[in-house]
């Protein structure tokens, strides 16, 4: 989950690489480092902590060189320390790496027998030693010579003072993108890191190697054979990855959620008509009428979106559905067979467990639909059908607008399956589409509640534990909120289903226990009112979401009024005020909301 960057060109590489890894901080930030090839050979600088600390050291003592690599680390092998930070160096060769070398212990033992001494606890240090041992006169041939010795995650960048005009980039597993500039070439784990320098990029495929020199970029396979891949123009402006006046990325991205949902919905309707109609609706998933079962898969917030997708699929389309936590797929007994639609949800499209579970599902005969914010990802290339959400770059580690866009995507999928199965009449389709069309504007109204939400967050910010409770489709929303309160605010929180409180959790409720109850479902209103009364009778302080004139306001201590919507879309209205509440609780507790402790955004190992 670390972030890698590389540069070769006429400019001094230091500042470009620093800028790139600062943009990659969401991938890990327990240490950072840089290596340049300059007039004096190889020079490196590493530090504990975030790239900003590295930048401070380099301002005092800059490095020179127009070829270089840089890294921001999320520790997997060896605790955070200077010796374990990247780049890892052996002689004149330096490497930055993302992934896990699965046969690292065996290789380390072999190298020690050859008299090589290791300075770090990392698996990465094996790479520069092997490259030096198999030196073939230049860097590219030496790298190619060692690739078949390695097992596992092999995404890395390498430079060597013995080949000062070569930068070699290898992808196996984790993502890498090559930037094609004017007389300069860049590499990074994510397009956002190098977008300020070029809008022309090549997304390396698994098993590809890029040789970057001052003369150009060449793509090879692991056997050294040349491969062709057309460059792409990125479709979003790099300004979209900036804070643009907001205090931090998380607030900006919560505020952008309505736009993300609007554009995700609009992508399923042909033409530019302001009125969305059933006749204009289309969804990129074939064989809908043949689908007998749907299985939704994801990890973290994407798993919560999968839960909602499962329920929407059954409720709207009448298609039997199941859900799988992607990291548990190897132990899961969910039956997958022909005519099963396997819906893999991943905002990055690079989540390791989701990709592996998707491969397993395809081997069993399932049709794979990928829902992702990254159309050039490994998951996107694996899929039979691809739905790309239109959330734009999301820089904060916590999923906010991409979560809302993923949920909207599952609602659109449910509509598609319902139409394929004739489960909804044209008039019922029209009503659902009308509600979808109104949804972004209603979400924008929720953003205007920021002052109210901030006051509530201040009032409750000193508490050390929270409960989020909902029933039906709001139960997944409560799970999402419990996850994000832990992640962003560093406060214990649980997401619970209302009817299960009496089966144990209510024993934890005492005077002033803070509870956010999602009461905005028409079909479960009476159950919600009963739940809130029981909680308040035991001293809980209940904040509740609900529709105006629903009666919820008289059954809670603080009320957040939501606009009316069908129950199947109501969770998307509850998400935004809950996100703002968690955000402000975190701020009042002086948390770094964009970079929570120990967490990285894209779980690729």
Q: What is the dihedral of CA 8, 9, 11, 15, to 10 degrees?
A: -30
The pLDDT value given to residue 244: 73
Q: What is the dihedral of CA 75, 80, 84, 87, to 10 degrees?
A: 70
Residues of the chain with CATH 3.60.20.10: 3-240
The pLDDT value given to residue 245: 79
> Could you say which DSSP state residue 152 is in?
B
Three-state secondary structure call for residue 101: strand
CA distances from 314 to 216, 291, 521 (A): 52, 13, 17
Q: Is 95 left (phi over 0), alpha (psi -120 to 50) or beta?
A: beta
The pLDDT value given to residue 274: 63
Class of domain 243-448: alpha beta
Residues of the chain with CATH 3.40.50.10490: 243-448, 450-605
Closest CA to 201 of 225, 221, 219: 219
Mean pLDDT by 10 residues, the chain (605 residues): 92 95 81 94 93 90 96 77 93 94 93 93 95 96 95 92 97 91 93 90 93 96 94 72 81 95 92 76 85 95 97 95 91 84 94 91 93 90 94 90 97 95 93 94 93 95 96 97 96 94 90 96 95 95 93 95 94 96 97 84 54
Candidate CATH numbers 3.40.50.300, 3.30.300.10, 3.60.20.10, 3.20.20.70; the one for domain 3-240: 3.60.20.10
3-state secondary structure 238-286: HHHHCCCCCCCHHHHHHHCHHHHHHHHHHCCECCCCCCCCHHHECCCCC
CA distance 388 to 375: 6
The pLDDT value given to residue 575: 96
Candidate CATH numbers 3.40.50.10490, 3.30.70.20, 3.40.140.10, 3.40.50.300; the one for domain 450-605: 3.40.50.10490
Burial class (CB in 10 A: 0-12, 13-18, 19+), 113: exposed
Mean pLDDT value across the chain: 92
- Considering the entire predicted model, what is its pTM? 0.82
> Could you say which DSSP state residue 63 is in?
-
pLDDT tens digits for 50-92? 888 899 999 999 999 999 999 998 766 667 889 999 999 999 9
The number of angstroms, rounded, from the C-alpha of 227 to the middle of its chain's C-alpha atoms is 29
CA distance 160 to 93: 4
CA distances from 323 to 119, 335, 346, 554 (A): 45, 11, 14, 36
């Amino acid at each position: 989950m670390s972030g890698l960057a590389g540069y070769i060109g006429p400019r001094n590489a230091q500042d470009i690489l620093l800028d790139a890894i600062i943009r990659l901080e969401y991938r890990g930030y327990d240490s950072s480092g840089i290596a340049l090839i300059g007039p004096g050979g190889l020079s490196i600088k590493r530090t504990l902590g975030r790239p900003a600390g590295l930048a401070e050291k380099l301002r005092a003592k800059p490095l020179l060189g127009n070829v270089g690599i840089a890294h921001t680390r999320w520790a997997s092998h060896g605790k955070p320390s200077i010796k374990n930070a990247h780049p890892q160096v052996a002689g004149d060769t330096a490497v930055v790496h993302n992934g896990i070398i699965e046969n690292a212990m065996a290789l380390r033992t072999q190298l020690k027998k050859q008299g090589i001494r290791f300075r770090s606890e990392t698996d990465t240090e094996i790479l520069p030693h092997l490259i030096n041992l198999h030196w073939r006169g230049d860097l590219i041939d030496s790298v190619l010579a060692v690739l078949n010795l390695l097992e596992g995650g092999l995404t890395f960048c390498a430079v060597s003072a013995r080949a000062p005009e070569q930068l070699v980039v290898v992808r196996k597993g984790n993502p890498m993108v090559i930037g094609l500039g004017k007389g300069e070439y860049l590499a990074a784990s994510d397009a956002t890191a190098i977008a300020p320098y070029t809008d022309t990029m090549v997304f390396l495929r698994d098993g590809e190697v890029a040789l970057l020199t001052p003369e150009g970029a060449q793509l090879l396979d692991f056997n050294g054979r040349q491969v062709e891949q057309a460059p792409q123009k990125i479709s979003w402006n790099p300004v979209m990855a900036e804070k643009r006046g907001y205090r931090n990325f998380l607030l900006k991205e919560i505020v952008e959620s309505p736009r993300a949902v609007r554009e995700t919905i609009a992508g399923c309707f042909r033409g530019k008509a302001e009125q969305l109609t059933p006749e204009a609706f289309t969804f990129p998933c074939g064989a809908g009428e043949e689908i007998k079962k749907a299985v939704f898969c994801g990890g973290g917030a994407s798993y919560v979106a999968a839960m909602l997708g499962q329920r929407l699929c059954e409720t709207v389309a009448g298609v039997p559905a199941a859900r799988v936590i992607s990291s548990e797929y190897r132990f899961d007994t969910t039956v997958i067979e022909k005519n099963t639609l396997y819906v893999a949800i991943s905002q990055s499209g690079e989540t390791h467990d989701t990709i592996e579970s998707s491969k397993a599902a395809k081997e069993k005969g399932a049709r794979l639909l990928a829902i992702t914010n990254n159309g050039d990802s490994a998951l996107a290339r694996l899929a039979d059908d691809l739905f790309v959400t239109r959330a734009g770059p999301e820089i904060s580690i916590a999923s906010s607008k991409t979560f809302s866009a993923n949920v909207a995507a599952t609602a659109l999928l449910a509509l598609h399956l319902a139409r394929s199965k004739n489960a909804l009449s044209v008039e019922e389709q029209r009503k659902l589409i009308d509600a979808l069309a109104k949804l972004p504007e209603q979400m924008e109204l929720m953003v205007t509640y920021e002052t109210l939400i901030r006051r509530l967050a201040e009032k409750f910010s000193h508490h050390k534990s929270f409960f989020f409770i909902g029933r039906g489709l709001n139960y997944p929303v409560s799970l999402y909120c419990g996850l994000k309160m832990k992640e962003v605010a560093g406060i214990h929180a649980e997401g619970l289903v209302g009817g299960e409180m009496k089966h144990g959790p209510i024993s934890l409720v005492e005077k002033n226990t803070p509870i956010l109850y999602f009461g905005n479902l028409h079909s479960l209103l009476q159950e919600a009112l009963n739940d809130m009364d029981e909680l308040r009778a035991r001293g809980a302080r209940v904040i509740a979401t609900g529709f105006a004139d629903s009666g919820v306001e008289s059954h809670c201590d603080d009320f957040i009024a939501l606009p009316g919507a069908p129950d199947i879309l109501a969770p998307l209205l509850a998400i935004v005020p809950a996100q703002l509440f968690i955000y402000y609780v975190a701020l009042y507790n002086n948390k770094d909301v964009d970079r929570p402790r120990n967490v990285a955004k894209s779980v690729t190992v």
